[in-house]
Amino acid sequence: MTDLLLRDARLWGREGRTDLLVQDGKINALGDTLDAPGAQVEDLDGAVVIPGLVDAHAHVDKTLWGGPWVPRTAGPGLAAAIAYGAERRAEFGIPNADFITALLTDMVASGTTHARSHVDIDPGIGIGAVHAVREGVERLAGRIDVELVAFPQTGILASPGTAALLDEALEAGVKSIGGIDPEGFDGDAERHLDLVFALAEKHGAEIDIHLHDGGDLGVREFDMIIERTRALGYTGKVVISHAFALCDADDATRARLIAALAELKIGLTSVAPKKILPLRELDEAGVVMGIGNDGVRDLWSPYGTGDNLQRTQWFARNAGFSKDADIELALEAATFGGARLLKIDGYGLGVGDTADLVAVHGRNPSEAVLEHHKRKLVVKNGRVVARDGLLV
Ligand SMILES: [Zn+2]
């Protein structure tokens, strides 16, 4: 592999400007005016350099990206959205490897080097979405790593036959198992969670549960997840996505839940909705949070572009962040936070770390997040994979 010399970077966390030398897929040296005969040289012209963005909560199997514009006509509420998605997907050939490839292409071009994608598993499509996403990822030929979560979008109890299909997906190598509103949607939190944890244990899988349920119900479900995580020794292997109940809880309850999340290393993900997780409080308690794009241009929502830097700006804005330190904390969630949840080895900006890097115009990371210009350069495993917003 040809060496890569990145000149004149504003490296996140380092004063002034620096050159980076990349050899054999890793950051080999940092310093002023490095010399590397024979290396491919890229002049970054003072661009901010951050590690590869980690989309910690995606649904690339659902996307219509690159396909038709479909005006959304679903009724209000979660159950209506789930039914609408399941009813109309066949009409547009969802999951569709071409749409998935189009979305992954734009994710790479905007600097995402790793993603965790939930894939729908249900009796209507079986585990077909697993194959469709894998095909899309293969077409990107090493430009992005995508790990999968077997996701019971239409419920496990509410959709008979799904438990066996989740089992099949995990057997086929899917890394994690999902869940969805165990009581609020699936009607029996005990049974739903027992099934999810039992399947996880059987396959040595990790867990990432969608929890939209808010209020006291959501708090009870938090407690049930915490209880099972502790009892089964699942420390560091559970993530709760959305986690709105944490926003609803009173101060004492929230503090109690956050302490338990920290103790059991239960992570959280946010897709930057209006009801926003208390990132500063989580960070101070040692709870890891990642940021993701959720569904992009699908039957659920017309929003999103796959750009996790744009999503980070949404998070910062919805959280009411205006100080640089807070905006950078959101950027940490979209990079290092997601990397910790996905357990990515060698992730970072130090010598010896994997060269997964993004260069973006800005005088500092906050400006880069708020303006999120087209990415000047994206490097994956030491190889340039995108330049000026286009795949290379
Ligand atoms: Zn989701």
Mean pLDDT (whole number) for 17-41? 96
- Ligand 1 centroid–CA 210 distance in Å is 6
C-alpha 153 to ligand 1 mean position (Å): 9
Q: Where are the beta strands (DSSP E) in the chain?
A: 4-11, 18-23, 26-31, 40-43, 48-51, 53-58, 112-120, 145-151, 176-180, 206-211, 238-242, 267-270, 289-291, 357-360, 377-380, 383-387, 390-391
Average pLDDT across the chain, whole number: 97
How large is the average pLDDT for residues 139-165? 98
Ramachandran region of residue 230, left (φ > 0), alpha (ψ -120 to 50) or beta? alpha
Distance 118 CA to ligand 1 centre (A): 7
Residue 5 alpha carbon to ligand 1 centre in Å: 38
What are the phi and psi torsion angles at 56 (to 5°)? -85, -5
| Mean pLDDT, range 321-349, rounded to an integer | 98
The first and second tokens of residue 41, run together, are: 């040289």
Distance from the CA of 132 to the center of ligand 1, in angstroms?
A: 18
For the chain, percent of residues with pLDDT exceeding 70: 100
pLDDT, mean of residues 224-245: 98
d(CA 144, CA 308): 14
Higher pLDDT, 33 or 173: 173
Annotate 45-77 with DSSP letters as a single string.
TT-EEEEPEEEEEE-GGG--TTS--------SS
Cα distances from 269 to residues 239, 242, 300, 313, in angstroms, run 7, 6, 19, 15
Encoding tokens for residue 136?
Answer: 């899309």
d(C-alpha 93, C-alpha 186), whole Å: 27
Q: Which residues pair with 48 in a beta bridge?
A: 10, 360
Q: How far is the CA of 289 from the centre of ligand 1 (A)?
A: 15
**pLDDT(1) > 90:** no
**Alpha-carbon span 223 to 211, nearest angstrom:** 12
Q: From ligand 1's centre to the CA of 131, what distance in Å?
A: 19
Percent of the residues in the chain that have a pLDDT greater than 90, as a whole number: 96
The yes-or-no verdict on residue 149 having pLDDT over 90 is: yes
CA of 57 from ligand 1 middle (Å) equals: 6
Write the pLDDT tens digit of every residue in 178-228: 999 999 999 999 999 999 999 999 999 999 999 999 999 999 999 999 999
What pLDDT does 158 receive? 96
- Mean predicted confidence (pLDDT) in 254-264: 98
Q: Which residues contact 250 (CB under 8 A, 6 or more apart)?
A: none
Among 57-61, 87-91, 163-167, 285-289, the minimum mean pLDDT is found in 87-91
Quick: pLDDT tens for 96-111. Answer: 999 999 999 999 999 9
| Cα-to-centroid distance, 380 and ligand 1 (Å) | 26
In the reported structure, the alpha carbon of residue 119 is separated from the centroid of ligand 1 by a whole-number distance in angstroms of: 9
User: What's the 176 CA to ligand 1 centre distance in angstroms?
Assistant: 14
Tokens representing 348? 């970072």
Total-model pTM? 0.97
**pLDDT confidence tier of residue 290, bands split at 50, 70 and 90:** very high
pLDDT at 248 over 90: yes
Please report the pLDDT score of residue 288 as a whole number.
98
> Could you tell me which of 257, 193, 266 has the C-alpha nearest to residue 223?
257
pLDDT attached to residue 343: 98
CA of 258 to the centre of ligand 1 (A): 21
